[in-house]
Amino acid sequence: MEEMLQKILDQNRYWIKYGEVPSYIPALAKANPEDLGVSVVNMKGQIVTIGDCSTKFTMQSISKPLALMQAIMDSGPVEVFRKVGMEPTGDPFNSIIKLETLKPSKPLNPMINAGAITTSSLINGSNSTERIERLLELVRTLAGNNEIGINEEIYHSEKETADRNRALGYFMRDIGVLEGNVEDILDTYFRQCAIEVSCSDIANIAVGLANKGNTLDGQEVVPADIVRISNTFMVTCGMYNASGEFAIKAGLPAKSGVSGGIMALAPQKIGIGVYSPALDQRGNSIAGIHILEDLSAWLDLSIF
Ligand code: GLN
């Protein structure tokens, strides 16, 4: 396993030069584009790590399936899906266009920014601090790492520059999707995006999702029917407007983030965490995608 994984990593290092580290959140631009790591955990909890697996990065959109699961646990599926849809958009992750053109309007799914800001608002808590504590608890439990916290620099950097997410938030309050204090809801979203993890943390979270929401020693963290919903969204919407292509080429539930991480899983088999911060034009880690495609082909992991 180690040898093959090393080979897959080495042969895909080539893609880094075709990608770019994002700068629209200024602090993310400090990432080293050469960093590259992959962690794989099997159902026995055995982990193989190759490359930069202890480098910390922020979850960004990888937090979206976790916020979705917490929102469903807290508010129930009826309330969540009254406010957020179940369909892919084909648009960039931060697009606003369909919020206005579709009638009646709600974010199309919980993996785009508009949908994720909405699910964050449906986590129990009377303010952002209470909501983020619940989400952090979920992330820490699934990752088996109580040290996981928030990168304050990246949180502030996003909060100070998030005009587009702010526009989405205020627009959604106008159409009745968000209720209450928009700044406080956005604060939860910015903080969840700044939760700091390593490749190995996300591989451990992924293996819990591969195990239907249970830790490998059998403790239920998220009910299986809620994990099934989240894993399905990861297939249909997890790689933004590249989800269809990724489903054909890799065939795995996966969620990427603009920090360059990707969390992927093969149900009942393995959890995978990849990190490589150079992104393609859709905001997915360019080497990360290719590594997952090769890994899926090698181990015959496609769920289709
Ligand atoms: N915090 C980022 C944003 O809202 C997350 C987006 C992403 O990872 N695609 O723009």
Instruction: Give pLDDT tens digits for 13-47.
Output: 999 999 999 999 999 999 999 999 999 999 999 99
pLDDT, one tens digit per residue, over 159-177 is: 999 999 999 999 999 999 9
Predicted pLDDT at 91: 87
Distance CA 66, CA 82 (A): 19
- Nearest CA to 252 out of 261, 268, 241 is that of 268
SS3 sequence, 30-82?
A: HCCCCCCEEEEEECCCCEEEEECCCCCEECHHHHHHHHHHHHHHHHCHHHHHH
Predicted pLDDT at 135: 98
Q: What's the CA-to-centroid distance between 113 and ligand 1, angstroms?
A: 7
Residue range 101-122: average pLDDT?
95
Ligand 1 atom index nearest CA of 61: 8
If pLDDT is split at 50, 70 and 90, which confidence band does 92 have? confident
Regarding pTM above 0.85, the answer is yes
Is 90 a residue whose pLDDT tops 90? no
Beta strand segments in 23-135, E: 37-42, 47-51, 57-58
Predicted pLDDT at 25: 95
Ligand 1 atom index nearest CA of 190: 1
Q: What's the CA-to-centroid distance between 191 and ligand 1, angstroms?
A: 11
Residue range 111-132: average pLDDT?
98
Ligand 1 atom index nearest CA of 24: 10
Q: Which domains does the chain have, with CATH numbers?
A: 2-57+197-299 (3.40.710.10), 61-193 (1.10.1500.10)
Query: Which residues contact ligand 1 via a Cβ below 6 A?
Result: 60-61, 93-94, 113, 158, 165, 193, 257-258, 283
Predicted pLDDT at 104: 83
Residue range 285-289: average pLDDT?
98
DSSP 93: T
303 is written with which tokens?
């769920």
Q: What's the CA-to-centroid distance between 189 and ligand 1, angstroms?
A: 9
Q: Taking a C-beta distance cutoff of 8 angstroms, is the pair 70, 53 a contact?
A: no
Report the run of H or E that residue 196 belongs to, with start and end.
Answer: strand 196-197
AA identity, residue 77: P
Q: Taking a C-beta distance cutoff of 8 angstroms, is the pair 238, 282 a contact?
A: no
The residues near 115 (Cβ < 8 Å, ≥ 6 apart) are 64, 84, 85, 107, 108, 109
Can you say whether the dihedral through the CA atoms of 98, 100, 103, 105 is positive or negative? positive
Q: Point out which residues pair with 197 in neighbouring strands.
A: 57
Ligand 1 atom index nearest CA of 256: 8
Q: What's the CA-to-centroid distance between 141 and ligand 1, angstroms?
A: 23
Is 224 a residue whose pLDDT tops 90? yes
Peptide bond into 33 cis (omega under 30): no
Ligand 1 atom index nearest CA of 94: 10
Q: What's the CA-to-centroid distance between 298 and ligand 1, angstroms?
A: 30
Q: Taking a C-beta distance cutoff of 8 angstroms, is the pair 189, 259 a contact?
A: no
Predicted pLDDT at 291: 98
Distance CA 177, CA 67 (A): 17
- Smallest CA separation from ligand 1 atom 2, residue: 60
User: Mutation test of ligand 1: which of 25, 91, 289 has the most ligand atoms closer than 8 Å to its C-beta?
Assistant: 25
User: Mutation test of ligand 1: which of 24, 59, 62, 94 has the most ligand atoms closer than 8 Å to its C-beta?
Assistant: 94
- Smallest CA separation from ligand 1 atom 10, residue: 94
User: Mutation test of ligand 1: which of 58, 113, 119, 185 has the most ligand atoms closer than 8 Å to its C-beta?
Assistant: 113
Q: Point out which residues pair with 214 in neighbouring strands.
A: 220
Q: Taking a C-beta distance cutoff of 8 angstroms, is the pair 233, 108 a contact?
A: no
Q: What's the CA-to-centroid distance between 101 and ligand 1, angstroms?
A: 22
Q: List the end-to-end C-alpha distance of the chain, in Å, as a whole number.
A: 23
Active site positions, annotated: 61, 64, 189, 240, 258
